Structure 1
Amino acid sequence: MKKVFDLISSLIGFIFFLPLFLIISLIIKLSSPGPIFFKQRRIGKDNEEFYILKFRTMRIDTPNVATHLLENPDKYITKIGKVLRKTSLDELPQLINIIRGEMSVVGPRPALYNQLDLKEMRTKKGIHKLVPGLTGWAQINGRDEIPLKEKVELDKYYLDNKTFLFDIKIIFKTIISVVKSDGVQEGKNDVKLDKTKVRQ
């Protein structure tokens, strides 16, 4: 049921948002030099890597570190990028990842390829067996504001309690969180991050 729901909902979502998809792509292309999409290596099901897709929200000369580590991220985020990040529309291309079967609508957010600490913690708890999601239980319970250990515990809770109705609940709460922009942070904070990570 989950696979069928993922495929049908992502196809419907892609068709529904196609006009917006094209408008955003055009604005990105005309407003700043560089590609429309930002591809990033992530860890998927069974720890196999794939490339996640996002709309590019930063200039091409941005230092190759996590956004959290930038002294002044506003300096590098494009004008359209600020809007896309605030509304989470930069995640829209991940519908393509879901159609490909690399992601699910609901699941643990895919770790960066070199986020080895998170990879190890998830593997020990069996979370790596889940298909990563566009949104997840941890996403609606803190997002950028909570440390990795707590995120893993929330992912484990999802693993132990996942049902179709639970997924619907998470999707509904995600919509509310996006509207309120809950848990979104830019720039440095007190979350410790590996300085070798590429920007998110």
Structure 2
Amino acid sequence: MRFKRCFDLFFTVPGFLFLLPFFGIIACWIKLDSPGPVFFRQKRIGQYGKPFNVLKFRTMVKDAEKKGAKITVSGDARITRCGRILRKYKLDELPQLINVLKGEMSLVGPRPEVPEYVEHYPEEMKKIVLSVPPGITDYASLEFRNENDLLKGASDLQAFYINEILPKKLEYYVRYVENRSIIVDFSLIIRTIWSILKKT
């Protein structure tokens, strides 16, 4: 685990410093596009069930969670103009590098879920998934990179996510934990970068 932390810092520290000017540009864009904070913070469940606030660039109108579901779909009216582009290229996820620097997340690991969804984890799967730090990317992130499109046709977003998508994600989370290695982490990072570049 210590080696994985060194791996995270080896890539995150220079990556964060390199991207810092872009953080400033994106922050100005968000503020000019719509009123509200630059960052979106949401309570997620981390390693060993410890809650933390995940950071993202705000892509929705101010107080969006009070105006609709926590799950968003393609075409959601709450998404701002710049938010659509940030989401398309996963740029809204960049502030999670701060979570990695703080030790709350890893570059690669099971995606952290909100407490309400963690309650639906089967107990054995929960022990496995929460035994490692959550990550910015993993197998499930790649498989469900178009999750918003999958949810778009659902009549009940919450039920569809909990009953159809979450169980499949959990299988990917467990697969990662049981087969994790530095080689696996590196390959998932490369695959994630490639999937983003393909959209450009």
The TM-score range, normalised by the shorter chain, is 0.7 to 0.9
* Among 80, 87, 105, the residue aligned to 1:103: 105
- What does 1:1-200 align with in structure 2 at a 5 Å threshold? 1-62=3-64, 63-68=67-72, 73=76, 75-115=77-117, 116-118=119-121, 120=123, 122-124=125-127, 126-143=128-145, 144=147, 145=150, 147-180=165-198
Alignment deviations for residues 134-160 of structure 1 (CA, whole Å, 9 cap, x no partner): 001211223425711111111111111
Q: How many residues align?
A: 178
What CA distance in whole angstroms lies between the structure 2 residues aligned with 1:140 and 1:103?
18
Distance (Å, rounded) in 2 between the aligned partners of 1:40 and 1:176: 27
Secondary structure in structure 2 of the residue aligned to 1:59: coil
**Alpha-carbon distance, 1:30 to partner:** 1.9
Shift of 1:11: 1.1
Instruction: State the superposition RMSD in angstroms.
Output: 1.9
Distance 1:69 1:80, change over 3 A: closer
3-state SS of the aligned residue for 2:72? helix
- Unpaired segments of 5 or more residues in structure 2? 151-163
- Aligned counterparts of 1:93 and 1:16: Cα–Cα separation in 2: 13
TM-score under structure 2 length normalisation: 0.82
For 1:103 and 1:93, locate their aligned partners in 2 and report how far apart those are by CA, in whole Å.
11
Segments of 4+ moved more than 6 angstroms: none
Task: Give, in angstroms, the shift of residue 120 of structure 1.
Answer: 4.5
**Cα distance, 1:69 vs. partner?**
6.4
Q: Could you state the TM-score of these two structures normalised by the residue count of structure 1?
A: 0.82
In structure 2, what residue type is equivalent to 1:47?
A: G
